[in-house]
């Protein structure tokens, strides 16, 4: 595990909606949402899309002994949970995982109940309780401030998405990384909750499913644009935008084009790519 002051983020899956492997998405990647944030020796994971399977395989291959992690879900749409049944370390006795979600309690649901249904027959061959790692479930209300580990502060905010979603900000050692996906910006002005969440952050990973030009056709779908990501970061004094939740129809050539436009418009910013590691 890493040193005490180490703080970085790795993108394991950057797609939204549905996995889209194939030659046209090979460079940016076809796995759905999964982001790892390392705070010294502690591992935080955000979303359990199909990128989580790849992270789990890397954990199983590279490190002996026990694995602990906190896994925070933005919400439980399939593209954000589909990797969970294929996360090998969850089946290993001795490992410990704490799962968190902020969109269910207000709706009278619980994360444990919702994830049990995901692995229920006839959708999956074995039930959730066959996972032999120690697994704890935590429901909170988006907007709460969490401290899952002493010294690691996790701020949360309710996002504008069908069924609700939660945005996150991780503060560690005086630096901040934000993970804000599955959210639709208002037609006029910015979402004040997002603006407050990302204030002064070094890295902002943000929902860029669409472009501003496409957005007119997709109002109400609960997603945003790379251009809105830039405007938000500028308004909030944030350092660097990393676009995320790419539309599965967006091929590598289009993402290269957006990457170039983004770099001109807000230097230091990048289109999120599977396998990318960034330090704030
Ligand atoms: Zn999504
Ligand atoms: Zn969603």
28 part of a folded domain: yes
Ligand 2 geometric centre to CA of 33 (Å): 10
- pLDDT tens, position by position, 120-131: 999 999 999 999
Quick one: what percent of the chain has pLDDT higher than 70?
A: 98
In which band, very low, low, confident or very high, does the pLDDT at 146 lie, cut at 50, 70 and 90?
A: very high
Mean pLDDT score across all residues of the chain: 96
Ligand 1 geometric centre to CA of 200 (Å): 25
Mean pLDDT for 95-106 is 97
Ligand 1 geometric centre to CA of 218 (Å): 14
Structural domain that includes position 107: 7-278
Ligand nearest to the CA of 75: 2
- pLDDT tens, position by position, 263-273: 999 999 999 99
Ligand 2 geometric centre to CA of 182 (Å): 5
In which band, very low, low, confident or very high, does the pLDDT at 63 lie, cut at 50, 70 and 90?
A: low
In which band, very low, low, confident or very high, does the pLDDT at 1 lie, cut at 50, 70 and 90?
A: very low
132 part of a folded domain: yes
For ion ligand 2, residues whose CB falls within 5 Å: 77, 182
CB-based contacts of 90, cutoff 8 Å, min separation 6: 56, 84, 97, 131, 133, 135
Mean pLDDT for 16-25 is 97
13 part of a folded domain: yes
Tokens standing for 182?
């599955």
- pLDDT tens, position by position, 35-47: 999 999 999 999 9
1 part of a folded domain: no
217 part of a folded domain: yes
Q: Report the alpha-carbon distance of residue 235 to residue 279 in Å, rounded.
A: 22
Ligand 1 geometric centre to CA of 12 (Å): 14
Mean pLDDT for 150-179 is 98
Quick one: what percent of the chain has pLDDT higher than 90?
A: 96
* Candidate from 56-65, 97-106, 247-256 with smallest mean pLDDT: 56-65
The string of DSSP codes covering the chain is ---TT-EEEEEEE-B-SS---SGGGTTT---B-EEEEEETTEEEEE--STHHHHHHHHHHHH--S--EEEEEES--SGGGTTTGGG-GGGGSTT-EEEEEESSSGGGT--HHHHHHHHT-TTTSSS-GGG--SEEEEEE--TT-EEEEETTEEEEEEEE-STT-EEEEEEEETTEEEEEE-S----SSS--HHHHHHHTT-SEEEEE-SB-HHHHGGGTTSS--BHHHHHHHHHHHT-SEEEEESB-TT--HHHHHHHHHHHHHHSTT-EE--TT-EE--
Ligand 1 geometric centre to CA of 153 (Å): 24
Ligand 2 geometric centre to CA of 222 (Å): 7
Q: Is the pLDDT confidence value at 135 over 80?
A: yes
The pLDDT value recorded for residue 116 is 97
154 part of a folded domain: yes
Q: Is the pLDDT confidence value at 262 over 60?
A: yes
Ligand nearest to the CA of 82: 1
The pLDDT value recorded for residue 53 is 98
Ligand nearest to the CA of 222: 2
79 part of a folded domain: yes
The pLDDT value recorded for residue 3 is 61
In which band, very low, low, confident or very high, does the pLDDT at 5 lie, cut at 50, 70 and 90?
A: confident
Q: pTM, whole model, 2 decimals?
A: 0.97
Ligand nearest to the CA of 244: 1
Ligand 2 geometric centre to CA of 184 (Å): 11
Q: What is the CATH number of the domain that holds 174?
A: 3.60.15.10
Mean pLDDT for 159-168 is 98
Domain count, the chain: 1
228 part of a folded domain: yes
In which band, very low, low, confident or very high, does the pLDDT at 62 lie, cut at 50, 70 and 90?
A: confident
The pLDDT value recorded for residue 66 is 87
Do the Cβ atoms of 205 and 242 come closer than 8 Å? Answer: yes
């Amino acid at each position: 595990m890493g040193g005490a002051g180490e703080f970085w983020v790795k993108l394991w899956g950057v797609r939204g909606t549905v996995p889209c492997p194939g030659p046209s998405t090979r460079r940016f990647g076809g796995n759905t949402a999964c982001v790892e944030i390392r705070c010294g020796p502690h591992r935080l994971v955000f979303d359990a899309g199909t990128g989580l399977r790849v992270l789990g395989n890397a954990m199983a291959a590279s490190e002996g002994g026990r694995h602990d992690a906190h896994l925070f879900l933005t919400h439980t749409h399939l593209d954000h949970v589909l990797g969970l049944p294929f996360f090998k370390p969850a089946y290993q006795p001795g490992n410990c995982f704490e799962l968190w979600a902020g969109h269910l309690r207000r709706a009278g649901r619980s994360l444990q109940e919702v994830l049990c249904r995901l692995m229920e027959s006839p959708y999956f061959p074995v039930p959730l309780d066959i996972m032999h790692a120690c697994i704890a479930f935590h429901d909170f209300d988006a907007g709460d401030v969490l401290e899952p580990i002493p010294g690691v502060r996790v701020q949360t905010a309710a996002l504008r998405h069908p069924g609700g979603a939660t945005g996150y900000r991780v503060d560690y050692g005086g630096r901040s990384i934000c993970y804000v996906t599955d959210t639709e910006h208002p037609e006029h002005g910015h979402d004040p909750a997002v603006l407050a969440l990302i204030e002064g952050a070094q890295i902002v990973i943000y929902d860029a499913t669409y472009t501003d030009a496409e957005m007119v056709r997709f109002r109400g779908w609960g997603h945003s644009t790379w251009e809105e990501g830039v405007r938000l970061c500028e308004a909030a004094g944030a350092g660097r935008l990393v676009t995320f939740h790419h539309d599965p129809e967006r091929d590598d050539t289009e993402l290269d084009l957006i990457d170039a436009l983004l770099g001109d418009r807000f230097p230091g910013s990048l289109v999120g790519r599977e396998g990318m590691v960034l330090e704030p």
